[in-house]
Structure 1
Amino acid sequence: MSAITSRRTTRTGIALSRRAGMVFVLPALVLFAVFILYPLLTALSYSFFGWTGIVRGGFTGIENYVALFTELPFSTDIPNAFLHNLLLFAGAMFFQNTVGLGLATLLHRMSRFKRFFQTMYTLPYLVSPLVVGYLWSLMLSPLFGPVNSVLRAIGLGDLAKPWLGDPATAIWVVVIVTAWQWIGFPVLLYGAALGGIPEEIDEAASLDGAGPWQRFRSITLPMLVPAIGTVSVLTFIGAMEAFPIPYALGGSQGSPAGATDVLSLLFYRTAFESGSSNAIGTSSAIATLLFLFIFGVSMLITWLMRRAERRLY
């Protein structure tokens, strides 16, 4: 009888724990449903209808999606904006996995002022991207910006130019500013991952004659795969959803001449500035495609990184 009673008590305890867990999780689920799931499903439903202003018309199927790839200006703006999103992702990944990882490694080996430098590198990440974008637009002003003033003062006046007014340099300014603001995130994440690697492994490899680069390549880097996967997924999501910095640096039109245009700006223009009678249907189609692409690629990156992680053990 005691064994049966013990089992019943265990089951009752598990059931109560699950109920208690659901009570704590329920507020988050409600917020997710109201602010995330409901808008997503609403946008999806809107994309299958024609609209006249804010009045919903009849069911149109995939006509709004077809229009994105067959009608102007979408047939030219979408590839251009999509390319810029990919450039943002590539640029951010390059800086985070080179400069960010390098800074995290240096800080990990420091004994003094470590927290200070971690805080300094993280501060831009904590500032609103819109504020960061406007500050950099002032710094890069060809009339009174300090960047061109410093170049002229040190004898490099030939390099001074209207950085945000030249289509050849504007998108790279967006890439660099975005990477600069995000650099604090991988510094913190890689720093935490480096702190979790047992020092005994590195010391054993050093005693076996492995040099610093060999130890980093064969021991440290493989053990950072989970952190690299997290950085990759979040960087991809952030780059594909980028709006504040491109908006602050190039405006809603992606100036100059669409050189700083991204998909979120295209969505914004279509929904609020196009003047189209079917703005709701078309912009909802853009939002739905963007979500599906982000979700699909994020799942693919996660799967690849988990597969690489399993190979290590």
Structure 2
Amino acid sequence: MSNRYPTPVTPTRTRIGWIGIGVMGGAMASRLISAGYALTVYSRTASNAAPLLSLGAKLAASPSDLAASTDVIFTMIGHPSDVRNLVLDKLLPSLAPNTVIIDHTSSHPALARQIYHSALKKNCYSIDAPVSGGDIGAKEGKLAIFAGGDAEVVNWLKPLFDVLGKTNYMGSAGKGQSCKIANQIAVGCNLVGLSEGLVFAEKAGLDKEKFMEAVRGGAAGSMAMELFGKRMIGRDFRPGGFAEYMVKDLGMGVDEVVVLPGAALSKQLFSGMVANGDGKLGTQGLITVIEKMNGIGG
């Protein structure tokens, strides 16, 4: 890597491409622009790119045009099928040698490995780097980044990752995605517990704000509580990550040959959110499912 990339990543030399400018992707891309990097973005709905264009980003006409004019491409989209279609069918055929693709999508480890090997055949590189920290972490540059792929490439990309959060190198291709799945299993179970704790507190006649303040410093405290507790109490279900994506992520975990009863239950409850028409709410909306099971709310 160092022989092929003799110059470091810098705002003046490194051309960045970005595909996927939703709640998370848009915030992450804007941080790179603020750090001085020149970004070219692609969006199927061009109007969605307006906030980034106002900050100085350029708009590509197609993924292939973006691929042909950038050195490092970030993707942050929806499902593994979207990643497969975009990266394997549209980006890879148009890449110049030594281009790096960084996929922040929560996707499947096997697909990450396939993309890695397909990129190598083009003398390019692929890093699977899903993130955790929600919309707040994305805006504040405090995401946990789980990186899989060549360690040398991840190290070369550190100036970019440092703008977005803290990089955790997990190992070979696909290991970043495996770490994200494990992360989502822990988060999903945390959200179930937090939801049930708040519903019990309400049923017991406790002030929910006082309950959360009392327990947050003890063993019940968690990052899930810090990120989502007040939102649950305030009925703020705006998405940092969609509930329907949690179903996807947990599904990739429970489909493995390992017994995960907590993850299976979490997936079932998040699937209940989707069945209720709430799949586009934030994951903190899980409390609505527990409430409905207890006759609270509509």
The two structures have a TM-score, normalised by structure 1, of 0.27
The two structures have a TM-score, normalised by structure 2, of 0.29
As a proportion of its length, which structure holds more helix? 1
Greater C-alpha radius of gyration: 1
Structure with the bigger RCO (C-alpha within 8 Å, sep 6+) is: 1
